[in-house]
């Protein structure tokens, strides 16, 4: 007995797929081709900006971030790196301690030390102390700001309690430091040499140039050790 169902014709099966393919081609042809941006600037202009306030703004061509310069190390130029050590680490080369009655002799000594090629930097209390400053404070500051101390030891120096204070303060600044405290004896015998200084050689003021040259040479020798 023949079946009532009839099989479709061979050509009728491909009608539906061909129709879908034709629709897809029509849609593809009807679409506009995507325009390639000519430059990054035009690409940025085609992109819509986000409306959210939390989103960071985009960087345009003129919003380039400049690099942060790296700071150069201090002292790389060599301008003042060497001034923090050696001779120039202190304000004075010599602090001259003397009695009031020996002011003229102290001025002559300072004039000798500051003259010539050496040009030593001297502190003379009545000349260089700050007006209105406390006497003790000025003395302590001068001693700590000087490489060497010259004690002009005379009969007037031994009689003056203030000079004895200067001597003890100078010794306390650098106890045992060779060459930093230089006694200059003038008008005194060896027996009158202060007991606090007996472990130090002194310059005899009765020698050539009243011992000024020896004092200068002693200061220069010490400064050379500073480098």
What percent of the chain is modeled with pLDDT above 70? 61
pLDDT at 117: 85
Instruction: Categorise residue 187: left if φ over 0, alpha if ψ from -120 to 50, beta otherwise.
Output: left
Q: Name residue, tokens 């031994």.
A: 158
Q: What are the tens digits of pLDDT across the range 7-38?
A: 444 444 444 455 555 565 566 555 555 555 44
Question: Per-residue pLDDT for 207 more than 90?
Answer: no
Q: Where are the alpha helices (DSSP H) in the chain?
A: 15-30, 40-46, 103-114, 125-128, 135-144, 155-159, 161-173, 212-225
Contact yes or no for 200/181 (Cβ under 8 A) = yes
pTM of the full structure: 0.62
Q: What are the tens digits of pLDDT across the range 75-86?
A: 333 333 444 468
Query: Both tokens of residue 142?
Result: 């001068």
Contact yes or no for 204/182 (Cβ under 8 A) = no
- Report the run of H or E that residue 55 belongs to, with start and end: none
Q: What are the tens digits of pLDDT across the range 133-148?
A: 999 999 999 999 999 9
Backbone angles phi, psi at 150, to 5 degrees: -105, 125
Q: Give the list of residues 6+ apart from residue 60 with CB closer than 8 angstroms, or none.
A: 44
pLDDT at 56: 41
């Amino acid at each position: 007995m023949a079946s009532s169902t009839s099989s479709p014709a061979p050509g009728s099966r491909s009608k539906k797929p061909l129709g879908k393919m034709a629709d897809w081609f029509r849609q593809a042809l009807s679409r506009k081709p995507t325009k390639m941006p000519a430059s990054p600037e035009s690409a940025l202009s085609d992109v819509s900006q986000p409306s959210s306030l939390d989103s960071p703004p985009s960087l345009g061509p003129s919003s380039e971030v400049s690099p942060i310069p790296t700071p150069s190390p201090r002292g790389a130029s060599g301008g003042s790196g060497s001034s923090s050590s050696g001779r120039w680490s202190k304000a004075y080369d010599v602090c001259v301690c003397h009695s009031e009655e020996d002011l003229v002799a102290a001025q002559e000594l300072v004039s000798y030390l500051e003259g010539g090629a050496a040009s030593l930097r001297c502190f003379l209390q009545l000349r260089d102390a700050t007006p209105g400053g406390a006497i003790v404070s000025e003395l302590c500051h001068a001693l700590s700001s000087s490489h060497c101390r010259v004690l002009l030891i005379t009969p007037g120096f031994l009689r003056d309690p203030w000079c004895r204070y200067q001597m003890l303060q100078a010794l306390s600044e650098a106890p045992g430091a060779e060459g930093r405290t230089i006694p200059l004896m003038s008008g005194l015998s060896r027996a009158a040499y202060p007991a606090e200084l007996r472990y130090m050689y002194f310059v005899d003021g009765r020698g050539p140039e009243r011992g000024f040259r020896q004092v200068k040479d002693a200061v220069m020798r010490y400064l050379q050790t500073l480098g």
